[in-house]
Amino acid sequence: MKLIMAKNYSDLSRKAANVVSATVILHPNCVLGLATGSTPVGMYKQLIEWYQKGDLDFKAVKSINLDEYVGLDAQSDQSYRYFMNENLFNHINIDRSNTSVPNGMAADIERECKRYDKHIHDLGGVDLQVLGIGNNGHIGFNEPDEAFEQETHLVNLAQKTIDANSRFFDSIDDVPKQAITMGIKSIMQAKSIVLLASGEGKADIMEKALFGPITPKVPASILQLHPHLIVVADKDALKVVS
Ligand code: F6R
């Protein structure tokens, strides 16, 4: 595990963007695994800035997003497809047909999950997976459970996740209760992973995830076993080593 300590959120965003940029520059047709949520927003802004300066080219890059809410379509401003369009894809030269987000409107969710896994497999897997971490230790929407779920699957969101995500919705009742998420196996098969964490709200769970026992009760703890894990965290989120 490589720990990169950042001074604050903007430093974290720049350092994380550097990790992604290195992959894009070294492997122009790489497959990026992407996350939504608040944490990577600054990193996406930085990538857009470097793209606009002419330092980055995304024309051959492919992307796979971790997850999507069930029941929200691409036009819904709370959907993760909409988030990705707004926060990254609309501002860079990635070919939209090279971007993938699970289809939360699929009539047959099980079939959609299988399609998504096959698609990841057909692309040759993920080169660099960007992850945030939920305050209950989830990665993607792999919630604390009795066992690690391997493949892309339908998940009932934990109450803690619904509560945390309600900040993006008008009311807590509007937060979808289910999502489609890439499984732990697909995440762990990424060649490299960059885990981002910011703010003291993440400090306890980061300590458990990185230095506690490996358990499906803290899904992110499995990352300790990844051979190429890069953690970019600000001082507040990684108190234990700062
Ligand atoms: C988002 C995702 C989630 C978030 C996590 C942290 O695609 O898969 O696991 O990374 O909930 O969210 P923020 O960054 O908002 O704290």
Question: Cα(89)–Cα(47) distance, rounded to whole angstroms?
Answer: 11
Catalytic residues: 67, 136, 138, 143
ipTM (interface predicted TM)? 0.99
| 2-241 is a CATH 3.40.50.300 domain | no
Cβ–Cβ under 8 Å, residues 123 and 29: no
Query: What are 28-83's pLDDT values in tens digits?
Result: 999 999 999 999 999 999 999 999 999 999 999 999 999 999 999 999 999 999 99
| Res. 242 pLDDT band, cuts 50 70 90 | low
115, burial (CB in 10 Å: exposed 0-12, middle 13-18, buried 19+) = middle
Helix (H/G/I), strand (E/B), else coil: 193: strand
Which residue is closest in CA terms to ligand 1's atom 9? 140
From the CA of 13, how far away is ligand 1's center (Å)?
Answer: 15
Query: Has residue 159 got a pLDDT over 70?
Result: yes
Question: Cα(42)–Cα(199) distance, rounded to whole angstroms?
Answer: 14
The domain locations on the chain are: 2-241
Query: What are 131-146's pLDDT values in tens digits?
Result: 999 999 999 999 999 9
Say if ligand 1 is within 6 A of residue 132 CB: yes
As a whole-number percent, the residues of the chain with pLDDT over 70 amount to 100
Query: What are 162-211's pLDDT values in tens digits?
Result: 999 999 899 999 999 999 999 999 999 999 999 999 999 999 999 999 99
Say if ligand 1 is within 6 A of residue 13 CB: no
Say if ligand 1 is within 6 A of residue 39 CB: yes
Query: Has residue 241 got a pLDDT over 90?
Result: no
Tokens of 110: 């099980």
